[in-house]
């Protein structure tokens, strides 16, 4: 058994709860570990330079990986904000935490959560930024959240007194300010776990005023499969998240002009009304020449596709620059205050995102770009692991990881698995060989059909169900962009049967009978995977 002297230092609080477990091998002189968990929204690995150098430069995010590890196979369980956050705090798949989708669910804050367990073990816990679980946070000594998606400009915050307070400033900066303030004023006698939840990079990518001029000289080539015809993939064809068809010219691409009304132009104007007169002037001074040029040239066809894609990329990059700078400011604070040695810093996103792949923005699908999520960790002293970790990991694993690091016994029925052995450089022989995924939010915005499936290191099998019954099989080694659905093709019977069995096994393990949604479930008993497969 490994000694865990650090646990002795946690003292009576956790010991008295009887929840201690042997966790990590650190020396007696070291202080208990702290955790800073930074989660952004819709930040995808294609736009993080330690994963992909084609587009963005994110030196501060990369710094986290440089002094620690980069997970190359990090995925979510249900690629949507609320569900991802619920998976993260509970260590359970959506079926276990019962937060299936953003539109119909309210998180039951009375259930077991990792922040509550950390609190019980003597940790100070705080949450700042986007929460998006509808009920007020539980398990945090301090919280300050934005209502719903939050606003980039002069946002409202909900405080612990349940007041809504409007604040001057840009949200990415404000969340960092508040995080640093909390660190400054915390009770230094206790270890802490701070959750910093940014709105950035969520739609509709409103840059800070300072960053407006950046990246205007950059042009980005369209991804090879931008003009995907979705052949053999009817569920992929049915979505409404196309840059060409569904991206709003005013709301997303900022081409506001008197007389031009789009589905979301009113929302965009309402957002701009949050700006101070000075901000609004700087905004208009920047966009007006672009707007004028756009309507004058009136691009069509491929030229319009390139124009839309490039505006999208540039706005995303401007917002990302603030995010990277602000994460840098938080890291500097930790460094200057001697906190880095004994703090695990985690950086991840609530899911990945499409940057024009298949012609899309948004997420939801079990395809790679959105099932994948960036995950890098700066490791505290005592953890010498560096470089890449290639094992299959999922956002349900964060809760057990933090619990183990805090010396709290991970409940046996928790779906996630602690990543601590991987952080120590071990390669457990019995590590999972497949990940389970289930997306439920349909019918809804972007119209991505309900689906579930399994992903191994090489294969992916997906079943789209509900008002469609389509299976898709991908060979990720030979078709990494998932353009060729091999389901039902000759030669793939055996792997298909194996993956189907795996889905059945995982649905049983996680107790996830396929749900058709609240309307259907009122009158029908949930169907098992096997019943659906037999339909
Ligand atoms: C909003 C966005 C959608 C986005 C969802 C979920 N529309 O509804 O484009 O898919 O959030 O995103 S918007 O018109 O309000 O911008 S999530 O990350 O919060 O799950
Ligand atoms: Ca998101």
Evaluate: CB of 445 within 6 angstroms of ligand 1: yes
Q: Please tell me the residue having the least CA distance from ligand 1 atom 13.
A: 203
To test ligand 1's pocket by mutation, which of 44, 103, 132, 202 has the most ligand atoms within 8 angstroms of CB? 202
Token pair for 468: 């469609």
Strand 459-464 with 470-475, pairing: antiparallel
Q: Please tell me the residue having the least CA distance from ligand 1 atom 15.
A: 203
List C-alpha distances in Å: 62 to 15, 203, 211, 373. Answer: 37, 23, 20, 15
| Ligand 1 closest atom vs CA 80 | 20
How much distance in Å is there from the Cα of 58 to the middle of ligand 2?
Answer: 19
Token pair for 326: 């602000």
Are 369 and 79 in contact by the 8 Å Cβ rule? The answer is no
What confidence tens digit (pLDDT) does each residue in 409-421 have? 999 999 999 999 9
Nearest to 128 by CA among 114, 142, 138: 142
Q: Which band of pLDDT confidence, cut at 50, 70 and 90, is reported for residue 307?
A: very high
Q: Please tell me the residue having the least CA distance from ligand 1 atom 16.
A: 203
Residue 147 sits at φ, ψ, to 5 deg, of -65, 135
Residue 231 has pLDDT above 80, yes or no: yes
Evaluate: CB of 349 within 6 angstroms of ligand 1: no
Q: Is the pTM of this model over 0.85?
A: yes
Q: Give the strands of the sheet with 192-197, arranged side by side.
A: 164-166, 156-158, 142-146, 124-130, 192-197, 34-40, 343-349, 375-378, 68-71, 387-389
How much distance in Å is there from the Cα of 287 to the middle of ligand 2?
Answer: 26
Instruction: Give the position of tokens 């491929």.
Output: 302
What confidence tens digit (pLDDT) does each residue in 11-53 have? 333 433 333 333 444 443 457 899 999 999 999 999 999 999 9
DSSP assignment of 385-442: --EEE-S-EEGGGHHHHHHHHTTBPPPTT-SS---HHHHTT---TT--S-EEEEE---
How much distance in Å is there from the Cα of 170 to the middle of ligand 1?
Answer: 19
How much distance in Å is there from the Cα of 343 to the middle of ligand 1?
Answer: 32
Residue 337: CA count within 13 A, CB half-sphere: 15
Instruction: Give the position of tokens 């802490």.
Output: 192
What confidence tens digit (pLDDT) does each residue in 199-226 have? 999 999 999 999 999 999 999 999 999 9
| Ligand 1 closest atom vs CA 84 | 20
Cis peptide bond upstream of 59, omega within 30: no
Token pair for 255: 């081409």
Are 464 and 449 in contact by the 8 Å Cβ rule? The answer is yes
| Ligand 1 closest atom vs CA 204 | 16
Q: Which residues of 331-340 are buried (b: 16+ CB within 10 A; e: fewer)?
A: bebbeeeebb
Q: Which residues of 101-112 are buried (b: 16+ CB within 10 A; e: fewer)?
A: bbeebebeeebb
pLDDT at 32: 87
What confidence tens digit (pLDDT) does each residue in 505-519 have? 999 999 998 866 656
What confidence tens digit (pLDDT) does each residue in 386-441 have? 999 999 999 999 999 999 999 999 999 999 999 999 999 999 999 999 999 999 99
- Chain-wide mean pLDDT for the chain? 93
pLDDT at 77: 98
How much distance in Å is there from the Cα of 203 to the middle of ligand 1?
Answer: 7
**Residues whose CB falls within 8 Å of the CB of residue 161, separated by 6 or more in sequence, listed in order:** none
Evaluate: CB of 130 within 6 angstroms of ligand 1: no
| Ligand 1 closest atom vs CA 364 | 10
pLDDT at 162: 84
| Ligand 1 closest atom vs CA 363 | 10
- Taking the CA atoms of the chain, what radius of gyration do you get in angstroms? 23
pLDDT at 3: 32
Residue 136 has pLDDT above 90, yes or no: yes
What confidence tens digit (pLDDT) does each residue in 119-130 have? 999 999 999 999
Ligand nearest to the CA of 82: 1
Alpha helix (H) residue ranges in 44-168: 59-66, 81-90, 94-97, 114-120
Nearest to 416 by CA among 124, 164, 193, 90: 90
Token pair for 417: 């698995």
Are 482 and 235 in contact by the 8 Å Cβ rule? The answer is no
Are 83 and 62 in contact by the 8 Å Cβ rule? The answer is no
CA distance 392 to 407: 24
pLDDT at 396: 99
Evaluate: CB of 40 within 6 angstroms of ligand 1: no
Residue 59 has pLDDT above 60, yes or no: yes
How much distance in Å is there from the Cα of 351 to the middle of ligand 2?
Answer: 6
Residue 254 has pLDDT above 90, yes or no: yes
What confidence tens digit (pLDDT) does each residue in 323-357 have? 999 999 999 999 999 999 999 999 999 999 999 99
479-488 CB contacts, 8 Å cutoff, 24+ apart = 480/368, 481/224, 481/225, 481/357, 481/368, 482/367, 482/368, 483/225, 483/228, 484/232, 485/232, 485/233, 487/461
How much distance in Å is there from the Cα of 84 to the middle of ligand 2?
Answer: 8
| Ligand 1 closest atom vs CA 362 | 10
How much distance in Å is there from the Cα of 116 to the middle of ligand 2?
Answer: 24
pLDDT at 402: 98
């Amino acid at each position: 058994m490994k000694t865990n002297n650090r646990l002795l230092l946690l003292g009576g609080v956790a010991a008295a709860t009887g929840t201690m477990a042997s966790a990590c091998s650190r020396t007696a002189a070291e202080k208990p570990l702290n955790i800073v968990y930074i989660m952004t929204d819709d930040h995808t690995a294609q736009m993080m330079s330690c994963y992909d150098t084609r587009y963005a430069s994110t030196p501060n995010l990369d710094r986290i990986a440089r002094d620690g590890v980069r997970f190359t196979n990090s995925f979510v369980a249900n690629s949507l904000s609320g569900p991802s956050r619920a998976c993260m705090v509970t260590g359970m798949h959506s079926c276990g935490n019962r937060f299936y989708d953003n539109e119909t669910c309210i998180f039951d804050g009375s259930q077991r959560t990792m922040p509550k367990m950390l609190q019980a073990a003597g940790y100070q816990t705080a949450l700042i930024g986007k929460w998006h679980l509808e009920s007020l946070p539980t398990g945090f000594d301090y919280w300050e959240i934005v209502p719903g998606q939050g606003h980039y400009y002069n946002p409202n915050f909900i405080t612990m007194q349940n007041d809504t307070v409007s604040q001057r400033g840009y949200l990415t900066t404000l969340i960092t300010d508040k995080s640093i303030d909390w660190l400054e004023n915390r009770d230094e006698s206790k270890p802490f776990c701070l959750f910093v939840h940014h709105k950035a990079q969520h739609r509709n990518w409103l840059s800070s005023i300072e960053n407006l001029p950046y990246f205007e000289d950059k042009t980005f080539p369209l991804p090879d499969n931008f003009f995907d015809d979705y052949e053999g993939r009817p569920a992929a064809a049915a979505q409404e998240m196309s840059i060409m068809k569904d991206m709003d010219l005013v709301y997303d691409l900022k081409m506001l002009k008197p007389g031009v009304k789009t589905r979301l132009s009113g929302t965009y104007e309402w957002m701009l009304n949050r700006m101070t007169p000075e901000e609004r002037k700087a905004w208009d001074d920047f966009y007006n020449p672009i707007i004028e040029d756009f309507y004058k040239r009136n691009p069509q066809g491929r030229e319009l596709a390139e124009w839309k894609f490039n505006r999208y990329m540039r706005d995303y990059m401007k917002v990302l620059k603030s995010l990277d700078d602000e994460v840098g400011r938080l890291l500097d604070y930790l460094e200057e205050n001697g906190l880095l040695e004994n703090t695990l810093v985690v950086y991840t996103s609530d899911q990945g995102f499409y940057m024009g792949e298949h012609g899309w923005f948004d997420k939801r699908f079990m395809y790679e770009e959105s099932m994948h999520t960036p995950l890098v960790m700066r490791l505290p002293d005592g953890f010498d692991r560096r470089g890449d970790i290639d094992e299959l990991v999922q956002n349900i694993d964060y809760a057990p990881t933090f619990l183990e690091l805090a010396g709290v016994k991970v409940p046996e029925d928790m779906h996630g698995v602690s990543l601590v052995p991987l952080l120590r450089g071990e390669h457990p022989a019995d590590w999972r060989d497949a990940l389970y995924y289930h997306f439920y939010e349909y019918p809804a915005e972007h119209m991505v059909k309900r689906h579930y499936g399994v992903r191994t290191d090489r294969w992916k099998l997906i079943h789209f169900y509900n008002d469609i019954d389509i299976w898709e099989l991908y060979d990720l080694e030979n078709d990494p962009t998932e353009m060729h659905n091999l389901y039902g093709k000759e030669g793939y019977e055996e792997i298909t049967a194996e993956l189907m069995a795996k889905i059945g096994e995982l649905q049983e393990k996680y107790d996830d009978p396929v749900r058709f949604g609240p309307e259907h479930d009122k009158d029908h008993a949930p169907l098992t995977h096997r019943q659906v497969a037999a339909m």
